[in-house]
Amino acid sequence: MPLLEPKPEALRPAPTGGAAPDRVPPERAGGTPEPLRGDLIALLGADKVLHTVSDLVRYASDASPYRFVPQVVVLAEDVDDISAVFSYAHGKGRHVVLRAAGTSLNGQAQGEDILVDVRRHWRGVEVLDGGARARIRPGTTVARANAALARHGRVLGPDPASAVACTLGGVVANNASGMTAGTTRNSYRTLASVTLVLPSGTLVDTGEPDADDRLAHAEPELCAQLLRIRSTIEADAELVARIRAKYTLKNTNGYRLDAFLDGTTPTEILRGLAVGSEGTLAFVAETVFDTLPLERFPVTALLFFPTLRAAAAAVPGFNGAGARAVELMDGNTLRASVRVAGVPADWAQLPKETTALLVEFRESDEEAAAARLAAAEGLLAGLELVAPVASVTNAFTRDPAVIGGYWKARKAFVTAVGGSRPSGTTLITEDFAVPPDRLADACTALLELQDRHGFDAAVAGHAAHGNLHFLLAFDAARPDDVARYAAFMDAFCTLVTDRFDGALKAEHATGRNIAPFLEREWGPRATELMWRIKRTLDPHGILAPRILLDRDPKAHLRGLKTIPTVEAVADPCIECGFCEPTCPSEDLTTTPRQRIVLRREMLRQPPASRVTDALLDAYGYDAVDTCAGDSTCKLACPVGIDTGALMKDFRHRRHSPREERAAALAARHFGRVERAARLAVAAAGRLDDRLLERVTDAARRAVRPDLVPRWLPQLPGAAARELPATEQTAATAVYYPACVNRIFGGPAGDPGPSLPETVVELARRAGTPVWIPPDVTGTCCATIWHSKGYDRGNVVMANRIVEAAWGWTAGGRLPLVVDASSCTLGIAREVVPYLTPAHRALHAELTVVDSVVWAARELLPRLEVRRHTGSAVLHPTCSMQHLGDEAELRQVAEACAAEVVVPDDAGCCAFAGDRGMLHRELTESATALEAAEVAAREFDAYLSANRMCEVGMDHALGTPRYRSVLTELERATRPEDGPDGD
């Protein structure tokens, strides 16, 4: 069938009637100006300098309400690159902002000059001392680091809600804490040492025994100045008392002045100052954390109270009992959370005054957890509880699924509330802290203040620590809305500092929004010391200007971003970045967030915009073509935004009517297409791989890459012409061999049975025979058309497969077992929107089961495992993530192997049917980290659950190794007298 042709005009958005005030001006359409572009390319190399307007726009947004378009983006690979950029900025009078995950909520990851990406090439975890410590590079996410530590029963202290996306560099730079860290387990308290690149280029590893001697030799004046500041602080008893008092609360506003009281040498002071410095003093090149015991046994309750004050009044009792977390969610938060999968729908009808506390105790063993469960119920006596959703008796639970659901709702606070904001509005997220015993008063005062200024905000937070978060939505394109917001912020800062003597920033760091109010909290003496610290470490002011220190009283109103309304599937996006670590193209082109950011910029532009033209020219490849369409972004997004679906729609928009007709014709005659494809694979198997690569490469150059797949040496040979013979009469299930397994065979050189033969034999061996319908040839799960955006072909095949499956299964009486996870997902879910009402009714009668799930549930209990392999590595497919089948994949593998490993960096392989052959660079980028982890050791078996995903991983490793987990199960349960029996 024809593949999509690039038609940029098909994706041009309709005019919105005017240009946004924060649009990229037309003179920026050419990207990075000279001589900046040429200078940096000469200094670093062309591959490290991103300079098109598309590059600059996609880095212009983070999770904050601010938006600044950089002049250039640098992909730094090592500390030499960082030093070179710092030196260049110093010599040319330029400024540098460092950006890792871009999950910061106050514009810390945005700059107006040179922006340096320190995520892409800065990932890695080294577990030290049996897990007691961990050396972590700054581009590593908290979740990834904790995955490595979990094997040792350890965990990091900071646990921000954005742990799946935020990186350790940002965690340190913002002194992030989270639900349980408080003031004792946060970055400042658990960071053992840090390696810094100072603005001068000097490298400082504070963990080295001779670190102070080295620093004194390289930077004698800096050392002297740090010790002078320390003496100044120590000589002022009132200031010392003020500093100590301020840090009894969670406080990330300004520089950590207690670093001068806790450290005695320059490098000790630097270690403390780096925490919460927001990239304004140095680059955090590496961290070493002291870790904490992983308490694996939680005891948790979600308790509902009639009012916010009643909930706040209950917090001290839980704190006193040793609760690890006490999280507060107000009525607006609870009602907005219904957008999160799994949250009860009736939360939407909760009274606005209802407030919930998520209370959790954590224990290190089963016995302690059981005792805690028994004792926890006693804490509820006398509390004013309501039961809008479930009974409050036996409120505490140890059920992992229930607990996971509670935390999913809590961690989705920002995105869930933000996703329900009015379309076109900007979201502000703020957090502050007050003494915990004044939490109820602070909550009441905050809600009154919001109401007075016309905001109906949501409030949530870490109630155990007096730390609250709130969200406000307003239209940054309307001056009156901005003025209303400005008035609220001024009143809010006065309320927190004057009435409660609280911290204006508890854990999100100062940022652009609070920088103008820094002195209001700290007073002139302490604030001037902070300016002095900045001048000491960064005398030329090259790092992150205006992010932490800013004397402009209206600085927080500068750079507020508008949020144009985009396609409905993506419009709720608040640009939080949770989706990015799951995206196969994150290190190649764009991420889901960036795809939406670029789309919004097109809508900011006026008609006939040069900027839009330039963005559209790049968008086809950067956004549409290199999207794997796996929709794992939907799983990562707390409100389920499916950017993959949007890209498939864009592919559809680029099709001409002729192309759509041709795709539908291919669907109607798919039997011929399937037979031709199998014959072509068989013929290719008799030719040299290098010849086939040269031929297909030439064809791609002559036509275009998206029209001609490239031959890969790892492609398997052709499948057998005939499927195994089966009987219908005694069948317990209908077996549907996916078209990919009817076209391609198993791994090259594998003498074992094919996958269809394997499934049939396993079923026979277990006494649960299956039947393969004789007319499966010419049918398909429709994913071929769905993934490429061919709606007409998709409709044809979707309805055909459902009608056929309904007949095969006797109207749904038998399950339909599918032997490729992507095809299971296609038939079970993805075909539904394309069905006629009649076929949708038929589909509702079907039971579609993945073959691995079927094997785990139906076959394993009836099979005798006769032999085990030593070790097996698993590649869970993205389709299995959508289906929730990963546990069954592991279950089957564990029945066959003594050791089963799922790589920490496992993710979507991006092969996506044939996309790995159309854009092999996508699969190579997507699998690079996982492949490196797998290649670091030898395994006895390499297993997955989808043939083309197995090919993708084979391509990543450079050799055919991966096969279906079911083939391993067949070998493990083969009778002694069977082939290869031993």
User: For residues 85 and 860, what is the distance between their CA atoms, to the nearest angstrom?
Assistant: 59
C-beta of residue 127 within 8 angstroms of C-beta of residue 149 = yes
Encode burial over 101-112: b for 16+ CB neighbours within 10 A, e otherwise. bbbbbbbbbbbe
Percentage of residues in the chain having pLDDT higher than 90: 80
- List beta partners, residue 328: 357, 461
How far from chain centre, in Å, is Cα 931?
Answer: 20
The Cα-based distances of 902 to 164, 906, 944, 953, 956 in angstroms read: 17, 7, 10, 13, 16
The residue that leads in pLDDT, 370 or 389, is 370
Do 503 and 594 reside in the same domain of the chain?
Answer: no
Check the CA dihedral 920-926-932-935 and report its sign.
negative
How far from each other are the two terminal CA atoms of the chain, in whole angstroms?
A: 47
User: For residues 828 and 812, what is the distance between their CA atoms, to the nearest angstrom?
Assistant: 13
pLDDT at 4 over 50: no
Q: Is residue 536 part of a domain?
A: no
C-beta of residue 266 within 8 angstroms of C-beta of residue 208 = no
Beta-strand ranges (E) seen in 740-837 are: 770-771, 816-818
User: For residues 718 and 681, what is the distance between their CA atoms, to the nearest angstrom?
Assistant: 5
Structurally, the chain folds into a number of domains equal to: 3
- Categorise residue 541: left if φ over 0, alpha if ψ from -120 to 50, beta otherwise: left
Dihedral angle at the C-alpha atoms of 862, 867, 872, 874, nearest 10 degrees?
Answer: -20
> Looking at residues 28-43, what average pLDDT do you find?
98
pLDDT per position as a tens digit, 443-472: 889 989 999 999 987 889 899 999 999 989
Do 348 and 473 reside in the same domain of the chain?
Answer: yes
> Looking at residues 95-116, what average pLDDT do you find?
96
User: For residues 316 and 327, what is the distance between their CA atoms, to the nearest angstrom?
Assistant: 12
Q: Is residue 924 part of a domain?
A: yes
Do 315 and 411 reside in the same domain of the chain?
Answer: yes
* Residue at a domain's end among 468, 491, 508: 508
Do 490 and 615 reside in the same domain of the chain?
Answer: no
Q: Which of 388, 365, 392, 370 is nearest to 379 (CA)?
A: 392
Structure confidence at residue 707 (pLDDT): 58
Least confident of 220-224, 676-680, 930-934: 676-680
What interhelical angle do 479-494 and 439-452 show, nearest 10?
150
User: For residues 779 and 777, what is the distance between their CA atoms, to the nearest angstrom?
Assistant: 6
Encode burial over 435-451: b for 16+ CB neighbours within 10 A, e otherwise. ebebbbebbebbbebbe
The Cα-based distances of 337 to 342, 344, 385, 408, 759 in angstroms read: 10, 9, 20, 9, 42
Q: Is residue 60 part of a domain?
A: no
pLDDT at 858 over 90: yes
pLDDT per position as a tens digit, 788-834: 999 999 999 999 999 999 999 999 999 999 999 999 999 999 999 99
Do 493 and 608 reside in the same domain of the chain?
Answer: no
Q: Is residue 336 part of a domain?
A: yes
Q: Is residue 745 part of a domain?
A: no
What are residue 294's phi and psi, to 5 degrees?
Answer: -85, 110
User: For residues 304 and 527, what is the distance between their CA atoms, to the nearest angstrom?
Assistant: 42
User: For residues 157 and 300, what is the distance between their CA atoms, to the nearest angstrom?
Assistant: 19
Beta-strand ranges (E) seen in 650-798 are: 733-736, 770-771
Do 581 and 480 reside in the same domain of the chain?
Answer: no
pTM score of the predicted model: 0.94
Q: Is residue 464 part of a domain?
A: yes
What are residue 235's phi and psi, to 5 degrees?
Answer: -80, -10
pLDDT at 33 over 90: yes
Percentage of residues in the chain having pLDDT higher than 70: 97
**CATH code at position 402:** 3.40.462.10
Structure confidence at residue 700 (pLDDT): 63
- List beta partners, residue 474: 426
Do 312 and 429 reside in the same domain of the chain?
Answer: yes
CA atoms within 13 A on the CB side of 896: 28
Do 614 and 495 reside in the same domain of the chain?
Answer: no
- Mean pLDDT rounded to a whole number for the chain: 93
Stated as kind and residue range, the H or E segment containing 669 is none
Q: Classify residue 8 as exposed, middle or buried by CB count within 10 Å of its CB (0-12, 13-18, 19+).
A: middle
Q: In which domain, by residue range, is 612 found? A: 564-654
Do 318 and 394 reside in the same domain of the chain?
Answer: yes
Q: Classify residue 838 as exposed, middle or buried by CB count within 10 Å of its CB (0-12, 13-18, 19+).
A: exposed
Stated as kind and residue range, the H or E segment containing 914 is none
Q: Residue 391: pLDDT band by 50, 70, 90 thresholds?
A: very low
> Looking at residues 701-717, what average pLDDT do you find?
70
* Residue at a domain's end among 508, 525, 553: 508
**CATH code at position 968:** 3.40.50
- List beta partners, residue 715: none
Structure confidence at residue 906 (pLDDT): 96
User: For residues 292 and 132, what is the distance between their CA atoms, to the nearest angstrom?
Assistant: 7
Do 883 and 959 reside in the same domain of the chain?
Answer: yes
Structure confidence at residue 224 (pLDDT): 98
The Cα-based distances of 824 to 604, 662, 761, 828 in angstroms read: 40, 26, 21, 6
Q: Is residue 346 part of a domain?
A: yes
pLDDT per position as a tens digit, 747-797: 877 778 999 999 999 999 999 999 999 999 999 999 999 999 999 999 999
Do 499 and 579 reside in the same domain of the chain?
Answer: no
The residue that leads in pLDDT, 418 or 695, is 418
CB atoms within 10 A of CB 621: 16
C-beta of residue 603 within 8 angstroms of C-beta of residue 564 = yes
Q: Classify residue 331 as exposed, middle or buried by CB count within 10 Å of its CB (0-12, 13-18, 19+).
A: buried
Q: Classify residue 329 as exposed, middle or buried by CB count within 10 Å of its CB (0-12, 13-18, 19+).
A: buried
Let me know how long the chain is: 982
Q: Furthest-apart CA pair in the chain: how many Å? A: 93
Structure confidence at residue 3 (pLDDT): 42
Q: Residue 420: pLDDT band by 50, 70, 90 thresholds?
A: confident
C-beta of residue 583 within 8 angstroms of C-beta of residue 545 = no
Q: Is residue 469 part of a domain?
A: yes
CA atoms within 13 A on the CB side of 658: 2
pLDDT at 389 over 60: no
* Residue at a domain's end among 654, 678, 695: 654
What are residue 234's phi and psi, to 5 degrees?
Answer: -65, -25
DSSP string, 147-190: HHHHTTTEE-S-B-TTTTT-BHHHHHHHT--BTTTTTTSSHHHH
> Looking at residues 56-64, what average pLDDT do you find?
96
Structure confidence at residue 705 (pLDDT): 63
Do 340 and 419 reside in the same domain of the chain?
Answer: yes
